[in-house]
Structure 1
Amino acid sequence: MSRSGKDPGERLRSAKKRTASSSRWLSRQINDPYVKQARAEGWRSRAAFKLIELDERFSLLRSAKRVVDLGIAPGGWAQVVRKKAPGAAIVGIDLLPTEPIEGVTILEMDFMIDEAPNALLGALDGAPDLVVSDMAANTVGHKQTDHLRTMGLVEAAVDFAITTLAPGGAFVAKVFAGGTDADLLNILKKNFTSVKHAKPPSSRKDSSEWYVIAQGFKGRNEAE
């Protein structure tokens, strides 16, 4: 037995059971400075730094009053919103359970079901001026399929944003490999005065993720 009380042979056998990809992920997590910084500062995930960096560049949270966080788990983005806009009403949604965050309403449900938009708006008690989405579909290992599944979530998030946002509002969403597809980009440009793509410094260099930032929502009547 080791000093931890575990059989070293058992630890070795457990390590052997790991796939090469999971071993690489574990090694990357252990050595990632953003992971270490997130733990030191009390953020629930390294993803918090992505929103912090996007906010520094685009001033997303400066005047936020009502915020919707799509794909809230584990809660890092909501923590950032809570800190940067302490007076804002915040509601988040995710299939995964999320530990409570003071001042944040969390809905454990599928954003893709018909009842989700009304549930979010009901919890927020008014039109949001910021919708953020860090959603990504679970990967199956087939690049094209994974991309299409994630873009399906982005399309749903865009539809929610342009249906619910208050005039002047903003929308932020994770996209992949080359950014937003042409049709979706045209929809955003039609509905917002500014649409840009950005890859925050904390996004891993080997990751294909980017973010689309749409600001200055025109409102339903003006966009028509």
Structure 2
Amino acid sequence: MPRRRRPPRPGVLADLSPTRILSQIVVLQLAYYACAAILIIFTALVAGKEVSTDLLFSWRSLRGDTTVGWTLGLVWVLNSLVCAIFILLLIARSKLVLDFALTVHFIHLIVTSLYSHSLPTNLFWWALQIFSAALMTSLGMWACQWRELRPITFGGKGAGSNGTQQGNNVVGDDGVGHSRGTGRARGRDGAGEYEMVAMNDRNGNV
């Protein structure tokens, strides 16, 4: 008799479907460039520099021997920090953070190479990409793990809010009194009050 396969867990096919992964990559890449464009435009306007697409897509603008190159490097590092938030919101799974972070930088390599009509030969650009990918991965994994390890709440409240303590009695949400130790409490059937009497053991101790 052939052995039946174990059915997949709910949500596995949805989380690993190619359509969803592709859509997450596209949205994350667009967010990566949109945030970088905003930061670069703001920095260029403040510094009084001319805004051009070379600052965003050309690897020749990232140089370690100019002030503009170091400023762009800091902007891309800040962009990696912001993109870690996008990974938390879009991906939210620590096991997939490394794959998406490397995919974002690999696509950026392709776009930069096509825009500049050559592969990057600047060591400063490569070092920045490695540092940016490592920063985005580490911070994204930490954020996703923090979110995954948060306690799950089902809308319940603590013991102090489930019931109102009155002396030795606790009045629950259903209005029924429950006694703690000796004292008087109202019965569950609402027929009246009854008194709790301490029970003695065989030796006469309470």
Query: What TM-score does the superposition give when structure 1 sets the normalisation length?
Result: 0.25
Which structure: greater helix fraction?
2
Query: What TM-score does the superposition give when structure 2 sets the normalisation length?
Result: 0.27
Which structure: greater strand fraction?
1
